[in-house]
């Protein structure tokens, strides 16, 4: 864990739970793609940079989930580096309590205010701001989170963030976190058509061809949608839908999984309702869902 893997002349990744990209702009200056899940991750990254004699110029954040920005504050404090982000992701990075608040739908209780869901705040600069490396292409990849992006490097390495999960992850957890199901499927279509020398997803193996994995992720989305539709053949409230999803996939419920899977199921419900496949009605002061 936290080993440095070279994938091209100028690009590496640090192998950790959410892969951290490294772009060596010149012999002294590097850019990180994300920063790991906490202060300890930041320390390990700093040790790798120091060992190689690299100066951290900036961190390019793909999105604001805590496991991708958790090392920001430590590395920024240690090196004075800039942190680039954009759109809603910038707001969540500067005000990390927004993530557990959004997931829970209200003020998060203390079981949700921890590093897994809430990173430490860090100062950010927009991608359009001064100093962003012009040779790096910012690729919009919305769906998993609000304004998630990937990056194409000058030597044609593409860092894909969280837009595809590994087969092992999907087989174990089935329901991957998705904010906007429609946008996520459009992103999968976009990635499927991409060409690159190497793709580096944060939660899957680096590969020059990710089309098969993209298809597997897409199939899982439709599988989850069909399961929800089958649960809703009779009028049913959200908590019952969530219970049946957890039971159907053999998932263990705790506070973190309740908000992560719960938020995702709500996103599926919205998507299916907007597509005309679900309808809603209020009965006895309760919102219930039913297939059309």
**Helix/strand/coil (H/E/C) assignment for every residue in 164-195:** EECHHHHHHHCCCCCCCHHHHHHHHHHHHCCC
Give the integer Cα–Cα distance in Å for 94 and 247.
Answer: 37
Average pLDDT over residues 70-95: 98
pLDDT digits 0-9 by tens, 218-242: 999 999 999 999 999 999 999 999 9
Domain boundaries, the chain: 3-209, 222-291
Confidence of residue 61 (pLDDT cuts 50, 70, 90): very high
pLDDT value of residue 112: 98
pLDDT digits 0-9 by tens, 152-188: 999 999 999 999 999 999 999 999 999 999 999 999 9
* The CATH number of domain 3-209, selected from 3.60.15.10, 3.30.530.20, 3.40.630.30, 3.30.565.10: 3.60.15.10
Give the integer Cα–Cα distance in Å for 277 and 292.
Answer: 5
Enter the pTM of the model: 0.97
pLDDT value of residue 212: 98
Starting at the edge strand found earlier in the chain, the sheet holding 236-237 runs 236-237, 286-291, 278-283
pLDDT value of residue 229: 98
Helix (H) or strand (E) holding 219: helix 211-231
pLDDT value of residue 182: 98
Radius of gyration of the chain from its Cα atoms, rounded to whole angstroms = 20
CATH of span 222-291: 1.10.10.10
Confidence of residue 28 (pLDDT cuts 50, 70, 90): confident
Topology alike, domains 3-209 and 222-291: no
Write the burial class of residue 282 (CB in 10 Å: 0-12 exposed, 13-18 middle, 19+ buried).
exposed
Tabulate helix, strand, coil % of the chain (nearest 5): 40, 25, 35
Q: Which residues lie closer than 8 Å to 175 by C-beta, 6 or more apart?
A: 224, 245, 249, 251, 261, 264, 265
pLDDT digits 0-9 by tens, 129-140: 999 999 999 999
């Amino acid at each position: 864990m936290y080993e440095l893997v070279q994938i091209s002349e100028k690009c590496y990744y640090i192998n950790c739970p959410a892969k951290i990209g490294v772009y060596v702009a010149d012999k002294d200056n590097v850019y990180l793609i994300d920063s790991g899940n906490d202060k300890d991750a930041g320390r390990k990254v700093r040790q790798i940079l120091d060992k190689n004699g690299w100066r951290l110029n900036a961190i390019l954040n793909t999105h604001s989930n805590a496991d991708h920005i958790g090392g920001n504050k430590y590395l920024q404090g240690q090196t004075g580096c800039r942190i680039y982000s954009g759109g809603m992701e910038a707001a969540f990075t500067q005000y990390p309590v927004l993530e557990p608040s959004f997931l829970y739908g209200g003020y998060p209780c203390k079981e949700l205010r921890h590093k897994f869901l809430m990173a430490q705040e860090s100062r950010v600069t927009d991608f359009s701001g001064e100093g962003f490396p012009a040779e790096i292409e910012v690729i919009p990849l919305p769906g998993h989170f609000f304004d998630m992006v990937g990056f194409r490097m000058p030597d044609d390495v593409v860092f894909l963030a969280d837009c595809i999960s590994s087969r092992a992850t999907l087989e174990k957890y089935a329901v991957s976190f998705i904010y906007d199901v429609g946008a996520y499927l459009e992103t999968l279509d976009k990635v499927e058509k991409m060409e690159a020398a190497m793709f580096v997803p944060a939660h899957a193996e680096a590969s020059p061809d990710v089309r098969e994995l993209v298809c597997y992720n897409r199939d899982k989305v439709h599988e989850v949608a069909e399961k929800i539709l089958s649960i809703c053949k009779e009028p049913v409230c959200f908590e019952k839908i969530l219970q049946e999803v957890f039971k159907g996939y053999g998932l263990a419920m705790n506070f973190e999984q309740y908000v992560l899977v719960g938020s995702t199921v709500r996103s599926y419900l919205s998507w299916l309702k907007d597509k005309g496949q679900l309808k809603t009605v209020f009965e006895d002061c309760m919102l219930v869902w039913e297939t059309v």
